[in-house]
Chain A
Amino acid sequence: MRVVTTQNTAHPVLIFWIIAGWIGFCLLPWYGVEDFWTFEWLVDGWPFDDDHAPAAVLLGMGQKLWLAPLIPPLILPLFALGRPKSDPMHGALLIVAGAFGLAWLVAQGFGIGLRGFTFDWLTAMFGELDDRQFGMGYGAMITASAFLFLFTQGIAARGAVNGDVFVVGAIGFVIAIVTAFVFFPIAKMLFAAFVTEEGGYSSQVFLSKFLNDRLWGLGCLSGARCGAAWNSLFLAIAVGFATTILGLAFALVVTRSGFRYKRALRALTVLPIITPPFVIGLALILLFGLSGSVTVFFADLLGIRPTRWLYGFTGIFIAQVLAFTPIAFLVLIGVVEGVSPSMEEAAQTLRANRWQTFRTVSLPLMRPGLANAFLLGFIESMADFGNPLVLGGNFDVLSTEIFFAIVGAQYDQGRAAVLAMVLLFFTLSAFYAQRMWLGKKSYTTVTGKGDAGVHPLMPKGLAIPVLVTALTWALFTIVVYVMIVYGSVVELWGVNNSLTLKHYVTAFRVQMGEDGIRWTGAAWDSFWTTIIIAAVAAPLTAAVGLVTAYLLTRQSFAGKNAFEFGTMLSFAIPGTVIGVSYILAFNVPPIEITGTGIILVVSFIFRNMPVGVRAGIASMSQLDRSLDESSLTLGANSWQTFRRVILPLLRPAILAALVYSFVRAMTAISAVIFLVSAEYDMATSYIIGRVENNDYGLAIAYSTALIFVMLAAVGLLQLLVGRVQIGRRTQHGTETTT
């Protein structure tokens, strides 16, 4: 009986989206004229006021007639309701309705803008349009989503991905948002590479900017300077290797050594990513610069002149390794923990010694982690902008060149676009190199079977160098951070070293007034905005990232490779380019969100999502598919499987994604500079303003405060997410919960 009912009555999800489409069209304000979160429209003349009217009412009043073709695709799915899923017409109806509705929505959105027709040929064809439209509001958004999901349900009904509604819907959703918020703005920006001075398009322009000596010069082989492209590439490879090795060393110390202060070490590795930009650079200058304490000390000791040795490749390398090792660690820790002890025990039973076990079993199983860690280090180094700016000396890299092509004295967005393309090309190459190296081997180690082993300790010959490396680096990190805290409590760092708390008072003063607490400190406004935006962005980022990772590892569909690269795109492009491309794309309808908090949240989601994707992929490729299959066999659908089986096993990846996106939302700078507005100012842009004003004390005090806030947040997240319970014995031999 039950089987028959599911066959004949429509899927509740289908009904839901049909209703949503109609609500979006008939009830909610079609255009978004005011801030997204204000609900003034409810009392301000809705539903008949022009600004807040739903599409149906507008049509009824004889306005915005180009919305009328949306009605048939809204009606069409109703006919699908009556048909069983097995009827080919069911799927066909939904596909046609969804595809046409979505296409028309997009076409009219781009075709008709704030000043009538956006394209000259439309005006030529239909004459001057005496009307205009604003950006999409709630109504348009919900109707668009409804069309999208009707379309994906149609495809699922036709049997794509085994007719799995959740998977097809998720794929459609991720493709749609990545297209809208990654491909679209970046494409818009990159077109500038072909624009001539007269405003036309020409590949000549591209070539002349591309074949430039400042980009590809090989002077460094003969003592002069190399082009920015080679510099960036060389630096990124070096940083990628160094961070991966250091990250692995830390992960091994934490999971496979008898080292006593593991927890402290673990906390320490998180410090650099929660540090706002420029702070590390400044600390390094005060330690190792021309007048830095360490440089001066050694110069006196050896009786030589202090030099500017820090500036250039060396300085950027040190700062980037310091800053990006934690990311490698976050990716690797999950993978190193996930390697099944049973396999290692099996190797040992077969008389392999510890070193052999490590080299032939453990290390190869960590390859997905190593590859992903390297890729992230490489990309981060390529896109990093703050460290090269402060420590670069005359060592030009792509990211700074791009920034100054846009905001510098050249005013050459075309050059920025060309440089961005070169950078993207390197990233793409690294991405494919990583895939080649991983090959098609299986790295599955977490199966559903009993797996109650204990990780063997590292072999001695390895343990000592690993421990020494990790501890030296940890010590270095501690010194840098002690310097930073010290810098926040002195009058003027490097000049007047008397202790004071005045910087904290200026930034975070709280006064008790008659009307309660008054937050009179200079930093509070940007502080609260930053916290709220970061708190909103982090869970969304993690969710989008992990769902994407799930699709990429667990499902196969056409265009998967391109899809995977697309998700990495926004991460690989320097923030400056993202910032400008977001203004270019989202300052005009159909999606008009500049000046709002939404654009900040959106930019953070798509900029930081790749870390969630990478961490998710690395962890998920360790989980045996038999886990999914047994869940599916027992009658769960793919959503339930994802939610109940995969997700709990992914806790380290979830934590990594959450922590990373929260923290990056609080410390990102280059994209944010273009997207902040008076109402939504962010901490980092405030800090940079202080630095420009020589207010180092206040800037460092604010940064230090942010570091503590983030530490607290990371701890809290760790508690909330909880630890993964793979059901292994602990090192002491007691059972953990299974």
Chain B
Amino acid sequence: MKKVTTALAGSLVALAASAGASQALTLYCSAQEEWCQIMARSFEEATGIDVDMTRKSSGETFAQVKAEEANPKGDVWWGGTGDPHLQAAEEGLTEEYVSPMREQLHDWSIAQAESAGNQTIGIYSGALGYGYNNDLLAANNLPEPACWKDLLKPEYKGHIQMANPNSSGTAYTTLATMVQMFGEEEGFQYMKDLHANINQYTKSGSAPIKAAGLGETTVGIVFMHDAVAQVEAGFPITVVAPCEGTGYEIGSMSIIKGARNMDEAKQFYDWALSAEAQNLALEVDAFQVPSNKGAQTSDKAPDLSSIKLIDYDFTKYGSSDERKRLLQKWDEEVSTLPQ
């Protein structure tokens, strides 16, 4: 009997066969720890399927999925910024799937999925912005910034921190946003002027706002929900939605190609798109905007309807060719300038 099951599993290792009766799912999670935990446990309660959850940042998960390509160990990859998901789709590491839950989703989520050949889907979004440390701003007698262009003023010299677009998806989103908002020429001019005021390009995307929280920089350019999390943790931070409008990220979910528990993976996928599952974010202080139209957004979260969002082109700026070109240009024209 068992032979049949093993043969059915095709090219997969027979671990699944020995797990046999009890269903299981291996979840790679790239959101914050609590959110990952509550997603895993709630899915277990809802379906009785055992979830093995591992939390890693989205870049680390991408590296792992890629390394495991020949013999995938994960089933679903949930959470984390969209770029690595899109990259995984482009490299054929993830599985195409059209969920019946689609009709309940916002357009931006479906648009992103279609741009990636249905290999990934948006589960939440978060707008780009910045936050500043109230105490430091006052101590240095600086005016309160409200727009992107405010950050170019000479009095902010040495007060602004952002991540390095070579290492962080957040910073790449910033670069791509400026290019889309102001045009390539002017966008790069903006980055060059901003460069003069930057005190440090951090490696990780959320580091600038953490530094602002600890009083190590005045302004940090990050996703706004990361800044809100700092406020909620008790740090003296003010969150700014820039007046010119801004770009955004789409946190995504993908099924890993060759998943051992494909049925369970799809079950999780459908469940994670439901309003009920997305409402779990409220319980763990996650301030992103959910992709299900029926799901609630935390009242502390930045209100996306009051923020001018640009029409972010995920197909173009998510492709690896365009990314390489922009990063190289940034490397050559911006990062080499004196500060």
Kindly specify which of B8-16, B123-131, B272-280 makes contact with the partner chain.
Answer: B8-16
Is A214 in contact with B14, judged by CB distance below 8 angstroms?
Answer: no
* Alpha-carbon distance between A289 and B336 when the two chains are bound, in angstroms: 26
Q: Tell whether B145 is near chain A: CB-to-CB under 8 Å.
A: no
Interface residues of A, dominant DSSP: loop
Chain B residues, Cβ within 8 Å of A113: 70
* Alpha-carbon distance between A392 and B327 when the two chains are bound, in angstroms: 21
Is A409 in contact with B63, judged by CB distance below 8 angstroms?
Answer: no
Is B59 in contact with A33, judged by CB distance below 8 angstroms?
Answer: no
Q: Tell whether B229 is near chain A: CB-to-CB under 8 Å.
A: yes
Q: Which residue of B lies closest to A34 (CB)?
A: B18
Is B323 in contact with A409, judged by CB distance below 8 angstroms?
Answer: yes
Number of B interface residues in the complex (CB < 8 A) = 70
| With known contacts A51-B18, A495-B234, A224–B216 Cβ distance under 8 A | no
Give chain A interface residues in 4-39, CB to chain B under 8 Å. 33-34
Kindly specify which of B47-55, B109-117, B180-188 makes contact with the partner chain.
Answer: B47-55
Q: Tell whether B203 is near chain A: CB-to-CB under 8 Å.
A: yes
Q: Tell whether A286 is near chain B: CB-to-CB under 8 Å.
A: yes
Q: Which of B57, B165, B214 is in CB contact (< 8 Å) with A285?
A: B214
| With known contacts A674-B60, A677-B54, A409–B199 Cβ distance under 8 A | no
Q: Which of A115, A394, A492, A677 is in CB contact (< 8 Å) with B200?
A: A394
Chain A residues, Cβ within 8 Å of B83: 409
Q: Which residue of B lies closest to A594 (CB)?
A: B73
Is A224 in contact with B338, judged by CB distance below 8 angstroms?
Answer: yes
Is A409 in contact with B327, judged by CB distance below 8 angstroms?
Answer: yes
Q: Tell whether B331 is near chain A: CB-to-CB under 8 Å.
A: yes
Give chain A interface residues in 649-684, CB to chain B under 8 Å. 673-674, 676-679, 681
Q: Tell whether B87 is near chain A: CB-to-CB under 8 Å.
A: yes
Q: Which residue of B lies closest to A312 (CB)?
A: B200
Is A676 in contact with B54, judged by CB distance below 8 angstroms?
Answer: yes
Interface string of A78-111 (1 = CB under 8 A from B): 0000000000000000000000000000000000
Q: Which of A408, A580, A686, A695 gathers the greatest number of chain B CB atoms within 10 Å?
A: A408
Is B63 in contact with A674, judged by CB distance below 8 angstroms?
Answer: yes
Q: Which of B12, B33, B324 is in CB contact (< 8 Å) with A690?
A: B33
Kindly specify which of B94-102, B166-174, B292-300 makes contact with the partner chain.
Answer: B166-174
| With known contacts A594-B68, A676-B54, A407–B33 Cβ distance under 8 A | no
* Alpha-carbon distance between A49 and B5 when the two chains are bound, in angstroms: 13
Interface string of B205-237 (1 = CB under 8 A from A): 010001001111100000000000110011110
Chain A residues, Cβ within 8 Å of B136: 290-291
* Alpha-carbon distance between A681 and B336 when the two chains are bound, in angstroms: 41
Q: Tell whether A693 is near chain B: CB-to-CB under 8 Å.
A: yes
Kindly specify which of A360-368, A537-545, A582-590, A602-610 makes contact with the partner chain.
Answer: A582-590
A738 → chain B closest CB, angstroms: 55
Q: Tell whether B189 is near chain A: CB-to-CB under 8 Å.
A: no
Q: Tell whether B71 is near chain A: CB-to-CB under 8 Å.
A: yes
Q: Which of A34, A115, A410, A588 gathers the greatest number of chain B CB atoms within 10 Å?
A: A410
Q: Which of A223, A290, A311, A693 is in CB contact (< 8 Å) with B33?
A: A693
Is B172 in contact with A409, judged by CB distance below 8 angstroms?
Answer: yes
Interface string of A469-504 (1 = CB under 8 A from B): 000000000000000000000011011100000000
Chain B residues, Cβ within 8 Å of A495: 213, 234-236
Give chain B interface residues in 1-27, CB to chain A under 8 Å. 2-3, 6, 11-15, 17-18, 26-27
A694 → chain B closest CB, angstroms: 4
* Alpha-carbon distance between A539 and B249 when the two chains are bound, in angstroms: 47
A277 → chain B closest CB, angstroms: 14
Q: Tell whether B201 is near chain A: CB-to-CB under 8 Å.
A: yes
Is A114 in contact with B70, judged by CB distance below 8 angstroms?
Answer: yes
Is B214 in contact with A286, judged by CB distance below 8 angstroms?
Answer: yes
| With known contacts A34-B15, A51-B14, A411-B320, A587–B67 Cβ distance under 8 A | yes
Among all A-B residue pairs, the 8 with the closest Cβ atoms: A291-B215, A407-B59, A404-B167, A408-B167, A678-B52, A583-B67, A694-B233, A689-B33
8 examples of A-B residue contacts, CB within 8 angstroms: A50-B6, A286-B214, A389-B203, A406-B59, A408-B59, A681-B54, A692-B33, A694-B229
Beyond A404-B166, A583-B68, A694-B233, 9 extra complex contacts between A and B, CB < 8 Å: A34-B18, A308-B200, A403-B203, A409-B165, A411-B87, A587-B73, A690-B33, A692-B206, A695-B233
